[in-house]
Amino acid sequence: MTKHTTLADFRFDPDAQQDGYVDAAFIALEITRLLRDNELTTVREFLETQELADVAAYVEELDADHDLQAMRLLPLHDQAELIGYLRPSSQVAIATALSRRELARLMTAMSHDERADLYKHLEPEAQEAILPALTKAEREDLRRLAAYEEWTVGSVMTSDYATLRPEMTSSEAIEALRAQALEAETIYNAYIVNDARQLVGVVSLRDLLTARPRQPVSDVMETDPIWIRAEAEQEEAARMVARYDLLALPVLDAEDRLVGIVTADDAMDVVEDETTEDIHKSGMVAPFETSVAEATIAMLYKARIYWLVLLVFGNIFSGAGIAAFEDTIAAHLSLLFFLPLLIASGGNAGTQSATLMVRALATGDVRVSDFGWLLGREAVIALALGLTMALAVSLIGVWRGGPEIAVVVALSMVAIVLIGALLGMCLPFIFAKVDRDPAAASGPLVTSIADVLGVLMYFGIASVLLDF
């Protein structure tokens, strides 16, 4: 890889560009130096050669005195797109530094959904200050989009969509799309509405181009399009976009009026957010409204401490279980050698099962109604796993404690793996049944419960077989 020593070196190194080598920190330092030297043309020419997503990475690395200065070197439409790539905190910082007139111009140029997102991140005083600077139509659109709850489809939809009338000819429709192209998020799908703005069909640009010039749109449109309500969960919209391979999903209100669309890229953002949330829940981390990089120590502490403390008290039962079998342990100290191995095996088996079921429920691969046959199948699989692991560990048991210990360890392994796997499979279904997120049935929870049950089963089996 070529080592870059100046901004020009990076700019004119095609191999580095093709390899995806983007040293944002280095470039930010170079941009800062050039801005201090007032070499604005050099910085502008460089930024104009870059993808805006990469420019956003550079801007994130700049200090508060230079990020806005660098952004102002770009055309307004590029600024409007650029700010959508920035973290919410960076968006707010830049918006706060702009004058009201500059912010109004920027927000007017932004896509409707990203404008609403920025508006929601502003302080109430800043929100009230910016509204009078926008046109009446922009204010109404902004308030409407910002009014939806964060988890709803309405909060991720955009009102930048192309509409047509059913009585138009294909030639008229193409001209209408040409007129709407600069404002619409996408023109590859156009939505057919009646006088009440109710959705009556959808037509692709491809169908319009291949239709006869005078053929009515009503003849080529799809009259039963897939749609979703604005109040539905945004995760459902993302699933529908993926399931039906849609470029955009129309969104209707309670009166069946078209109020927006969810595009494929917005759906990808939803999937990323939901996946992040599920991963956090699987690690028993409570949700927090920022990225890990921007989270404060207090935020991360609060997000993690609740379940950790709760699981500590849960694990007290493991200690109580050990204390209840002190006499058996004292008579057969070799049992302690196998304790970590056995309870870890139960936790691992449970975590595997929970991971498979949580993901299957999230993707719709299985449903709560499938619980019965899944439980039977998991029991067979867990029994096979337990027997295989018991065979392996029994050899160590013979060497370490003799045949009697080997039998205890082998039987305990089968029982512990079986119970751990069934526990891991059942918990996500139980959570789903009571309308809780199955992702909360995570590894730490399964492991903690499996540990307690594993200790009790292990020493219970030992006391029965060895003390009599």
281 located within any domain: no
218 located within any domain: yes
330 and 438 together in one domain: yes
Would you report the helix, strand and coil content of the chain in percent, each value rounded to 5?
65, 5, 25
276 located within any domain: no
27 and 140 together in one domain: yes
What are the DSSP calls for 53-92, one per residue?
HHHHHHHHHS-TTTHHHHHTTS-HHHHHHHHTTS-HHHHH
Report d(CA 359, CA 164) in Å as an integer: 40
Query: What contacts 340, CB < 8 A, 6 or more positions away?
Result: none
264 and 302 together in one domain: no
The confidence score (pLDDT) of residue 329 equals: 74
157 located within any domain: no
46 located within any domain: yes
107 and 193 together in one domain: no
44 and 190 together in one domain: no
Assign residue 247 the CATH number of its domain.
Answer: 3.10.580.10
214 and 350 together in one domain: no
Instruction: Using alpha carbons, select from 132, 147, 153, 467 the residue that is nearest to residue 326.
Output: 467
238-259: b (≥16 Cβ within 10 Å) or e: bbbbeeeebebbbbbbeeeebb
Report d(CA 390, CA 417) in Å as an integer: 9
303 and 231 together in one domain: no
Report d(CA 459, CA 335) in Å as an integer: 8
The confidence score (pLDDT) of residue 415 equals: 93
The confidence score (pLDDT) of residue 10 equals: 54
129 and 175 together in one domain: no
283 located within any domain: no
Residue-number span of the structural domain to which 348 is assigned: 297-466
288 located within any domain: no
Pairing of strands 163-164, 258-263: unpaired
Low-confidence ranges of the chain (pLDDT < 50): 1-5, 11-21
141 and 93 together in one domain: yes
Assign residue 129 the CATH number of its domain.
Answer: 1.25.60.10
Where among 218, 253, 271 does a domain terminate? 271
Name the pTM for this structure.
0.71
189 and 220 together in one domain: yes
The confidence score (pLDDT) of residue 369 equals: 86
13 and 97 together in one domain: yes
> pLDDT (tens digit, 9 = 90+) per residue, 275-315?
877 777 777 677 767 777 777 788 878 877 877 787 777 77
Domains identified in the chain, total number: 3
Assign residue 437 the CATH number of its domain.
Answer: 1.10.357.20
The confidence score (pLDDT) of residue 252 equals: 95
> pLDDT (tens digit, 9 = 90+) per residue, 353-382?
988 888 888 777 888 888 888 999 999 999
At 255, is the secondary structure helix, strand, or coil?
coil
117 located within any domain: yes
At 456, is the secondary structure helix, strand, or coil?
helix
The confidence score (pLDDT) of residue 14 equals: 41
Q: Assess contact for 161 and 197: CB atoms under 8 A.
A: no
221 and 356 together in one domain: no
Phi, psi for residue 222 in degrees, rounded to 5:
-85, 120
